[in-house]
């Protein structure tokens, strides 16, 4: 009974977030960034972000091996796992890892990509050729393979998983901002700054990057969700967070051996990944609708 109640609440949150995104995106066109996406993002994320401030292992009392694969009760709404641990507590605690990894790795990729793409697009010629050939080389390597290569070189832990995802994200951001900078650098206000003797680095920092950043910001919100999926996949393969630290991918990996004993054991972490990624994607869609001038004029 308790498990069905939790399923209903989570499903309602996902549906409400999607419906709210459609309505709120239209309102966001009139107030571009002040309110965009805030409501629909937090509706989908409330269940998972809250444990960042609250140590979730203390949410529910500990259980022992005698309670393996316990059914959902009011004391343990999602039941217990193969070691008698509360599934809800582990999912909520695992959200800290998922969201932090998604945000930090995206920031690494964003900073690196913006630096490379802005410099390449602004200077052009040989600088552009050299930097973008390096970016294209990284882009030619499959995302997950590149992350695994970084982890093989530096170490098999969560820190290097974040580093690997960040490095693998650089080409996406670099190509995106370069395409914008190529048009922005010819704008009148950039030409005026050059004529006034402003240094190139100041022009890039004050004029070029800020006026090229809107699509990059949208891509960053979508990249967070993708990074969460990638890190969950790494944890599923045995990389990333190591036991006993709970992570959603690791929970899915363990649960595959117990599908007959307790099918819900694998459903809950999968549903957690789904709701979180949908939340970030809905936020990105709302942000895109608000910042895209073509949609604002419709």
Cβ-based neighbours of 149, under 8 Å, separated by 6 or more: 141, 164
Residue written as token pair 């599934």:
87
Would you state the structure tokens that stand for residue 21, as one six-digit string?
Answer: 């995104």
Q: For residue 8, name the pLDDT band (cuts at 50, 70, 90).
A: very low
Write the pLDDT tens digit of every residue in 47-67.
Answer: 444 444 444 444 445 555 556
Q: What is the DSSP letter of 57?
A: G
Separation CA 146–CA 161 (nearest Å): 11
Q: Name the maximum alpha-carbon separation found in the chain.
A: 77
Q: What is the pLDDT of residue 262?
A: 74
Q: Under a CB-based contact definition with an 8 Å cutoff, are residues 276 and 44 in contact? A: yes
Q: For residue 32, name the pLDDT band (cuts at 50, 70, 90).
A: very low
* C-alpha closest to that of 147 among 217, 236, 240, 252: 240
Q: Under a CB-based contact definition with an 8 Å cutoff, are residues 61 and 77 in contact? A: no
Write the pLDDT tens digit of every residue in 152-186.
Answer: 888 888 889 899 999 999 999 999 999 999 988 88
Q: What is the pLDDT of residue 295?
A: 56
Q: What is the pLDDT of residue 167?
A: 94
10 Å CB burial of residue 270 (0-12, 13-18, 19+) is middle
Q: Calculate mean pLDDT across residues 207-226.
A: 90
CA dihedral 32, 34, 36, 40 (to 10 degrees): -160
Q: Under a CB-based contact definition with an 8 Å cutoff, are residues 93 and 87 in contact? A: no
Give the HSE-up count for residue 157: Cα atoms under 13 Å, Cβ half-sphere.
5
Write the pLDDT tens digit of every residue in 62-81.
Answer: 555 556 666 666 766 777 77
Q: Cis peptide leading into 244, omega within 30 of 0?
A: yes
Cβ-based neighbours of 54, under 8 Å, separated by 6 or more: none
Q: For residue 13, name the pLDDT band (cuts at 50, 70, 90).
A: very low
Q: Which domains does the chain have, with CATH numbers?
A: 2-296 (1.10.3720.10)
């Amino acid at each position: 009974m308790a498990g069905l109640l939790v399923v209903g609440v989570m499903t309602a949150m996902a549906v409400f977030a999607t419906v709210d995104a459609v309505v709120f995106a239209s309102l966001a066109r009139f107030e571009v960034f002040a309110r965009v996406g805030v409501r629909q993002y937090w509706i989908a994320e409330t269940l998972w972000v809250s444990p960042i401030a609250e140590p979730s292992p203390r949410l529910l009392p500990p259980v022992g091996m005698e309670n393996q694969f316990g059914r959902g009760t009011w004391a343990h709404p999602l039941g217990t796992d193969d070691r008698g641990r509360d599934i809800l507590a582990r999912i909520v605690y695992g959200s800290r890892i998922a969201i932090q990894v998604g945000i930090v790795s995206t920031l690494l990729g964003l900073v690196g990509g913006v630096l490379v793409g802005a410099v390449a697009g602004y200077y052009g010629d040989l600088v552009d050729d050299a930097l973008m050939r390096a970016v294209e080389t990284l882009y030619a390597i499959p995302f997950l393979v590149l992350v695994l290569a970084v982890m093989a070189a530096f170490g098999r832990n969560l820190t290097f998983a974040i580093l690997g995802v960040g490095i693998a994200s650089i080409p996406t951001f670099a190509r995106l901002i370069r395409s914008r900078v190529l048009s922005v650098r010819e704008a009148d206000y950039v030409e005026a700054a050059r004529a006034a003797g402003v240094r190139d680095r100041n022009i890039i920092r004050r004029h070029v990057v800020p006026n090229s950043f809107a699509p990059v910001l949208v891509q960053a919100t979508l990249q967070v969700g993708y990074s969460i999926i990638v890190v969950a996949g790494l944890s599923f393969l045995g990389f990333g967070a190591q036991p006993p630290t709970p992570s959603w991918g690791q929970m899915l990996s363990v649960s595959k051996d117990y599908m007959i004993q307790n099918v819900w054991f694998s459903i809950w972490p999968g549903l957690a990944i789904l709701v979180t990624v949908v939340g970030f994607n809905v936020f990105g869609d709302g942000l895109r609708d608000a910042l895209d001038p073509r949609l604002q004029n419709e």
